[in-house]
């Protein structure tokens, strides 16, 4: 979870890790005293090492670069979600939580070290130009993307409306690279999409938790609830949802709850210990609810699933979620830098910590999409919180900062590489298609449960 500017909390399972930071607050040194022998001796050792490296390393090195790497290692060694953010990465973090940005409209990922298009977003410049899923972007404005960080590529493709950018792609079956000259536009971040699966039964997909998610969800629900037929059941799809803003997760949960706790967070400091409660709503949403989760459901999506599960407001279906149960704050530093730091653990209404455990579904249903025969195997190999080096445990303890013995998960500089690789990336980011949804065995199972519930209710009457 994160704080926008100073006090706005967010939840992000993963983020592009920072690699440089050169500001050390003067107050840090003011708080040190000769009486703190351990700290004092440690700083002496640190300066000794810096001096020796500067004088004796085989190649010349800059002091600033050494300090960058030292601070980077210090923060990244705490846990997988703490990081120092250079201005570019800090800016991207803020953009990702807003409702729109200037760009070309594609979702990208690093796949086998290639910058790959997951999906063009419907109606955007990339979509209209014909960029396709699985296209490999080899150049942006003539600059090769080889060895480019993901956030660097994103920054180069984003920009003011009306400006242009040239994207060069390699496409399977096409012998030569293809150049696309795209004029940037305002790209809305559509985190909510809805459709009617069958008369009286709705489906809502929430792909992230940005500033507009609750309002967009209320609009989507109103469309389903005020349709030609009364809403008798809803499928809420949180699969592959990596998280987002904490307040949005709480408000989304509150849409379906009338009372009781939604979430509690507990940190070392009193200011980082809070309880968030549900409030009565004039809109009666008494219809049954099935929530879909998988190994890519993290942070904010786990808060929603955990709250609805503990209050027995929804049946949770799918596979165990990612297991990120920690809260991060982002402090704004000088010169555009930011510090993302873990400050608390969060707990579901029943007091459960899902850190490195995840939300276990009430009904386990593994994916079997028709175009993916190896779906089960891929699901099993999704990285989870418990797989990340230096992950925290569910409860505080001295072992929290230790690396797991025998662990073979290596932390990469690019946190995006640690995000669960979503099997349904193109499917999730594209427009809703009723045929694809009805071919999804998890969605079909959820719909069958809702229909069966209503049949049983009528039988009882």
**Residue 79 in contact with residue 390, Cβ under 8 Å?**
yes
Q: Kindly state the tokens that stand for 135.
A: 């296209």
Q: Is 310 a catalytic residue?
A: yes
Catalytic option among 135, 254, 310, 415: 310
**Residue 411 in contact with residue 76, Cβ under 8 Å?**
yes
User: How many CB atoms sit inside 10 A of residue 136's CB?
Assistant: 17
**Tokens 């009781």, residue located:** 260
Q: Look at residues 230, 358, 372, 361 and name the one whose alpha carbon lies nearest to residue 302.
A: 358
**Residue 357 in contact with residue 323, Cβ under 8 Å?**
yes
Beta partners for residue 38, in sequence order: none
Enumerate residues 6+ apart whose C-beta is below 8 A from 447: 197, 198, 201, 233, 235
What secondary structure, in 3-state letters, does 301-325 show? HHHHHHHHHHCCCCEEEECCCCCCC
Q: Is 425 a catalytic residue?
A: no
Catalytic option among 299, 301, 321, 425: 299
Measured CA to CA, the distance from residue 218 to residue 215 in angstroms comes to: 5
Helix, strand, coil distribution of the chain in percent, nearest 5: 30, 25, 45
Q: Is 324 a catalytic residue?
A: yes
Q: Look at residues 361, 410, 367 and name the one whose alpha carbon lies nearest to residue 388.
A: 410
Active-site annotation, residues: 299, 310, 324
């Amino acid at each position: 979870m994160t704080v926008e500017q100073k006090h706005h909390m967010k939840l992000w399972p993963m983020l592009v890790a920072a690699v440089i930071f050169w500001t050390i607050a003067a107050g840090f040194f003011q708080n040190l005293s000769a009486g703190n022998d351990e700290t004092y001796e440690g700083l002496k050792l640190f300066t000794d090492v810096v001096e020796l490296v500067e004088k004796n390393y085989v190649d010349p090195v800059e002091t600033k670069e050494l300090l960058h790497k030292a601070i980077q290692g210090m923060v990244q060694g705490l846990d997988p979600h703490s990081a120092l953010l250079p201005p570019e990465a800090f800016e991207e973090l803020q953009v990702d939580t807003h409702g729109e940005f200037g760009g070309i409209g594609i979702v990208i990922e690093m796949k086998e070290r290639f910058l790959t298009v997951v999906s063009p977003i419907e109606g955007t410049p990339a979509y209209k130009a014909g960029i396709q899923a699985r296209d490999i972007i080899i150049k942006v404005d003539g600059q090769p993307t080889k060895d480019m960080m993901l956030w660097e590529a994103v920054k180069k493709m984003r920009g003011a409306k009306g400006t242009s950018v040239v994207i060069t792609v390699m496409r399977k079956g096409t012998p030569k690279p293809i150049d696309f000259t795209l004029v940037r536009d305002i790209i809305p971040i559509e985190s909510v999409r809805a459709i009617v699966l069958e008369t009286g039964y709705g489906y809502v997909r929430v792909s992230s938790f940005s500033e507009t998610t609750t309002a967009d969800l209320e609009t989507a629900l109103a469309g389903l609830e005020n349709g030609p037929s009364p809403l008798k059941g809803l499928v809420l799809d949180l699969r592959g949802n990596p998280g987002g803003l904490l307040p949005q997760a709480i408000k989304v949960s509150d849409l379906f709850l009338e009372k009781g706790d939604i979430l509690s967070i507990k940190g070392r400091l009193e200011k980082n210990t809070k309880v968030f409660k549900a409030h009565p709503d004039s809109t009666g949403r008494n219809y049954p609810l099935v929530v879909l989760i998988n190994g890519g459901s993290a942070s904010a999506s786990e808060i929603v699933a955990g709250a609805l599960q503990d209050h027995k407001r929804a049946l949770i279906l799918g596979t165990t979620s990612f297991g990120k149960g920690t809260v991060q704050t982002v402090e704004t530093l000088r010169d555009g830098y930011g510090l993302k730091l873990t400050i608390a653990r969060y707990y579901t209404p029943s007091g459960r910590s899902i850190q490195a455990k995840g939300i276990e579904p009430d009904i386990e249903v593994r994916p079997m999409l028709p175009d993916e025969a190896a779906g089960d195997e891929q699901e099993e190999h999704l990285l989870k919180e418990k797989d990340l080096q230096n992950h925290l445990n569910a409860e505080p303890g001295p072992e929290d900062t230790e690396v797991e013995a025998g662990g073979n998960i290596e932390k990469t500089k690019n946190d995006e590489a640690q995000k669960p690789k979503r099997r349904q990336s193109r499917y999730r980011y594209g427009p809703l298609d009723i045929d694809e949804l009805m071919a999804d065995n998890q969605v079909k199972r959820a719909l069958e449960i809702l229909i069966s519930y209503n049949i049983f209710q009528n039988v009882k009457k």
